[in-house]
Structure 1
């Protein structure tokens, strides 16, 4: 199965923090203050689910969260998290194969699109965008090489990463897809943007 992190699920967080320190965590946590009470939230590719505990610190109850994860091992770890009294629906599926029926106030896609080919990015973006309520927020966190400085080491870093995860997790992508045109073409409004790890990681909040 492509884009599946089962083999390294138990070590994924330690590995990412060994390489990126707290940057990946901070990029996601700093967005959470934008979550309003009683929101319906979709999280796609949330990994081991540590973000659920961070959300529960801010909103111990009242949220309705749908959590879609392709890795069974990652999903199992997510289910052990202390999520407060929020309502949860855990789905073991790729987002492409999962039939979405609900609409959401907030969508989180942390480090999701860097796994996909251009065609899969288009399909997933359109599918998720259709399910986001008008005025809803999309929390996008991912790698970027768009910054003017450091492009050479970022490209090299990505090449090594894609090689490693291609072998370990059968990641289909070998290049980073720029998601900015997708949001621009769909008339999303960028309301927040922050950079981390030498501008290699970018956290953006778009409003539909």
Structure 2
């Protein structure tokens, strides 16, 4: 079977979470947690690129009644997320479906009130990112929320240590996972072109990471 696009994280699945904590501590997790209060009490939620399932556990623990589609292109990551869900012991009101694939695996009629992209969008060069974000925008219901947690340095130009870390990240994941991007994207221009309005923002990791929420405006 040919490898799926964007599926290279299968190679790093068994140590990815440990590596993330070694470099960033709990900053990446805190950025995702900051977004969860914005999820409505009842909503159809798409989590795309959620990896091994940490953020899924956090959604289950909110006590909200959510219909969640968990979509990931890396088979090993999806397997780990599925196993975490199977082992989740606390009662919850969520319905969860798992699907292997990229945004192209979304069905034409599927619509979501919330889309969550946890540290996904930084992986793609501009043209691929534009196509991905345009497809996700189509799947987001009018007035829906796009919850974004990713590397979006506030200070420009970036301090030297952020530049060094950016270079190291893209070199490592380019080799290990086939990541095609070489620098942090200019996310703002993509959200603006798609008609999104920023309604929430909180920085983490000395401003290198941001949690943001965007609302899809009616045109």
TM range (shorter): over 0.9
1:65 is matched with 68
TM-score normalised over the length of structure 2: 0.89
Q: Distance in 2 between matches of 1:122 and 1:186?
A: 9
Q: Distance in 2 between matches of 1:39 and 1:146?
A: 31
Structure 1 residues 91-140: Cα deviation after superposition (integer angstroms, max 9, x where no partner): 11122454453100000011111111111111011100111111111001
Q: Distance in 2 between matches of 1:98 and 1:193?
A: 28
TM-score normalised over the length of structure 1: 0.93
Verify: 1:167 aligned to 2:175, yes or no. yes
Q: Of 86, 109, 121, which aligns to 1:113?
A: 121
SS at match of 1:157: helix
SS at match of 1:183: helix
| CA RMSD across the alignment | 1.7
Verify: 1:14 aligned to 2:18, yes or no. yes
2:143 is matched with 135
Q: Of 28, 35, 39, which aligns to 1:35?
A: 39
Structure 1 residues 137-189: Cα deviation after superposition (integer angstroms, max 9, x where no partner): 10011112341474322122111111101111111111221110111222322
Q: Is the 8 A contact 1:96 1:123 kept in 2?
A: no
Q: Distance in 2 between matches of 1:78 and 1:87?
A: 14
In structure 2, do the counterparts of structure 1 residues 133 and 198 end up closer, same or farther at CA, with 3 Å as the change threshold?
Answer: same
**Structure 1 residues without counterparts, runs of 5 or longer:** none
Verify: 1:88 aligned to 2:91, yes or no. no
Q: Distance in 2 between matches of 1:174 and 1:96?
A: 23
2:186 is matched with 178
Q: Is the 8 A contact 2:69 2:96 kept in 1?
A: yes
Q: Of 28, 52, 58, which aligns to 1:48?
A: 52
